[in-house]
Chain A
Amino acid sequence: MIETIFWLSFTIVFYVYCGYPVLLVLWRRAAARPVKKRHWEPTVTVVIAAHNERERIERKLQNCLSLDYPSRKRQIIVSLDGSSDGSEFLVWKYVSQGVELVHSRSHAGKAAALNRALKRATGEIIVFADVRQTFDRNAIRELVANFADESVGAVSGELVLMPTDPGRHLQLGQKQEEATTDVGLYWRYEKALRSMESEIHSITGATGAIYAIRRELYKELPQDTILDDVLTPLRIVLQGKRAVFEPEAKAYDAVACCSRGEYGRKVRTLCGNYQLLVQCPLLLMPWRNPVFIQFLSHKVGRLLVPWALVALVVTNLSLHGGVYALTLTLQAAWYAFAIVGYALSRREATEPLVIPDENERAERAA
Chain B
Amino acid sequence: MKRLVSLPFTFALMNWAALAGLYYFITGKKDVWSKSKSSHVHKN
> What residues make up the interface of A, taking CB atoms closer than 8 Å to B?
51, 81-82, 88, 92, 95, 99-110, 112-113, 116, 120, 182-183, 186, 223-224, 226, 259-260, 262-264, 266-275, 302-303, 305-306, 309, 334-335, 337-342, 344-345
Contact with A263, one of B13, B24, B32, B40 (Cβ below 8 angstroms): B13
Known: A186-B10, A334-B8. A264 touches B31 (CB 8 A): yes
Known: A226-B30, A267-B20, A274-B25. A88 touches B10 (CB 8 A): no
A51 to chain B, nearest CB (A): 5
Interface size class of B (residues with CB under 8 A): 35 or more
Main secondary structure of the interface of A (DSSP, over half): helix
A296 to chain B, nearest CB (A): 15
Residue numbers in B under 8 Å from A99 (CB-CB): 44
Q: Output the nearest chain A residue to B22 by Cβ-Cβ distance.
A: A274
Residue numbers in B under 8 Å from A92 (CB-CB): 42
A271 pairs with B21, CB closer than 8 A: yes
Q: B19-44 vs A: 1/0 string, CB under 8 Å?
A: 11110110000111111111111111
B32 pairs with A268, CB closer than 8 A: yes
Q: List 11 A-B contacts (CB under 8 A).
A: A100-B44, A104-B38, A108-B35, A109-B34, A182-B3, A182-B6, A182-B7, A267-B24, A269-B21, A271-B24, A344-B5
